[in-house]
Chain A
Amino acid sequence: MADRLRQIVAFGGGGFSMEPGNPLLDDYVVGLTGRERPRVCFVPTASGDADHYVVRFYRAFGAGRCEPSHVSLFRRDRGAGAVEGDLAAHLLGQDVIYVGGGSVISMLGAWRAHGLPEVLAEAWGGGTVLCGLSAGSLCWFTEAVTAFHGSPQRVEGLGLLPWSNCVHYDGEPSRRREYLRFVGDGMGPGYAADDGAALRFVGTELAEVVCSRPGKGAHRVEVRDGEVVEERIEGRYLGAAPAVLAAA
């Protein structure tokens, strides 16, 4: 395991829960493990472990494609199909840990109460690919913009990635406006991703931007010479090129 890369794939939005019928981002993450049948564990804490979300995960990550499991921090006494007993050992044995969307603030509170931040950092160091959308993206960064309660606000993440992060960048204009303002007010430099785009980090550096829909991408946001600057990074489309489709 020692030679495996530390990787995080942070979706601006997308994957099975936001793009039904478009598995490109999920397939991309699974592909990064280099395993035929990777162990993929879903962590739906940010939704309050919503049953319907867990069901959709198992539909998307069927047993034919991977070894799926999920962790419920709300029902550790009742099993309900989730992992019981030694959570840490289970998480450390995964190829992918997939964090769902919802309330990043509630999620981080519950994670801390169960000692998950340390476990996730260790899993990352051991080569488990960490990924997620929305709250499941914001959580990996030092700071992020959440708009889960009223107007967008700053939130502190786990800090595995020493950047700031903003999601749904093209879908919710108020987030973009506030993110630019926060960076101007001293939030560290970082990356914003559109719905349908994902940021792949190797170590703590951005390796590439991929997308599940043509034309989606990301922005690097930072202060240069006292000005907040947004620099567009086009995403590499993961699907078949449109021209090829037309020819077929």
Chain B
Amino acid sequence: MMVPTILALGGGGFTMETDTTALDDFVLTLAGRREPRILFLPTASGDPREQIGRFHATFGDRACEPSVLSLFRLAYVTRSLRDIVLSQDIVYVGGGSMRNLLAIWRVHRLDAILREAWERGIVLAGLSAGAMCWFQGGVTTSSGCPEPTPGLGLLPGSLSVHADSEPARRPVLHRAIRDGVLPPGYVADDGAGLLFRGTGLERAVSSRPAARAYRVEAIGDAIVETPILPTYLGCAARPERPVPFDVREFRQIRYGGAHRG
């Protein structure tokens, strides 16, 4: 049985980064299977077709079985949501409105199903709202201005995302921790991911050399941030589509060794 695993991204991955697939490739390595089943949940953005298209464009070409669960388009879904989720190796949650995400999950009872999935060792991954949702709380802009909001609480502590690209969130996290509204926790830049095994942080990874994460604690009245240096996963540029075997063979015959396929 796999250890409960969560990868929380401060931002990045296929919905945000067009120049690297490092984090998406890393997600696939976490399942411990050659071709993991990966389910995308775009709930937090209202299941937009554009995000779903990008998911298929990214994972359709990789060694995995990708599928999408849209809670706004269940009309032709015959299996129960629990069956669908528990038959996965990885659940990847997109960004958007954290408040809507949790409210909609609750009415479909997906909060309980995802907890069960996590306990069974199905890897939970996500960015932004899809990262903060696993913690006791986060800083959301669901209503416009950044404000603290509770999460599912699978992981102890809090998380604030987009630390480098949306600097207004961080002071809100600090104040919330100081006021006892949120527990101490983490902030993460775009491109930085925190990997949790069980409820403990195992390590941080990144798709950008400069991306950082920080542990945030309250010591007396002061808020102290300690940098966490992520392992840089390298800039795996989006590969060209793999050339099918028959085409490669054709080129070999047609052009000899001169053409690289």
Contacts and interface: CB of A to CB of B under 8 A. Distances in A.
Interface of A: 46-51, 73-77, 84-85, 102-103, 105-106, 108-110, 112-114, 147-150
A221 to B, nearest CB: 23
A112 B48 CA distance: 21
B45 A77 contact: no
A163 B241 CA distance: 56
A109 B104 contact: yes
Contact of B142 (A76, A103, A108): A76
Contacts of A103: 71-74
B108 interface: yes
Given A50-B48, A84-B144, A110-B104, A149 B77 contact: yes
Contacts of A49: 46
Contacts, number: 75
Nearest to A84: B144
Contacts of B49: 50
Contacts of B107: 105-106, 108-109
17 contacts: A46-B72, A50-B46, A74-B45, A76-B97, A76-B141, A76-B144, A77-B141, A77-B143, A85-B144, A103-B72, A106-B72, A106-B108, A108-B107, A112-B103, A113-B99, A148-B74, A148-B75
A48 B46 contact: yes
B24 interface: no
A106 B102 CA distance: 11
Given A105-B107, A106-B107, A74 B75 contact: no
Contacts of B102: 113
Contacts of A102: 72
Given A77-B141, A110-B100, A48 B74 contact: no
B41 to A, nearest CB: 12
Interface string B96-126: 1101101110111000000000000000000
Interface string B41-64: 000111111000000000000000
Contacts of B74: 103, 148-150
B78 interface: yes
Nearest to B77: A149
Main secondary structure of the interface of A (DSSP, over half): loop
Contacts of B47: 48
B interface, by DSSP: helix, strand, loop or mixed?
loop
A91 B74 CA distance: 29
B132 to A, nearest CB: 14
A146 to B, nearest CB: 10
Contacts of B108: 105-106, 109
Interface in B192-235: none
Nearest to B108: A105
A135 B78 CA distance: 20
Contacts of B75: 147-149
Contact of B48 (A48, A76, A85, A114): A48
B48 A73 contact: no
Interface string B140-155: 0111100000000000
A55 to B, nearest CB: 13
Contact of A114 (B44, B45, B70, B99): B99
Contacts of B78: 150
Contacts of B45: 48, 74
Interface string B68-95: 0011111101100000000000000000
A77 B103 contact: no
A147 B75 CA distance: 7
Contacts of A50: 46, 48-49
Contacts of A48: 45-48, 70, 72
Contacts of B96: 74
A61 B256 CA distance: 63
A76 B143 contact: yes
Contacts of A85: 144
Contacts of B141: 76-77
The winner among A75, A149, A150 for most chain B CB atoms within 10 A is A149
B47 to A, nearest CB: 5
Nearest to A108: B107
A46 B74 CA distance: 12
Task: Give the one of A47, A73, A108, A113 with max B CB within 10 A.
Answer: A113
A113 to B, nearest CB: 3
Given A103-B72, A106-B107, A148-B74, A77 B144 contact: yes
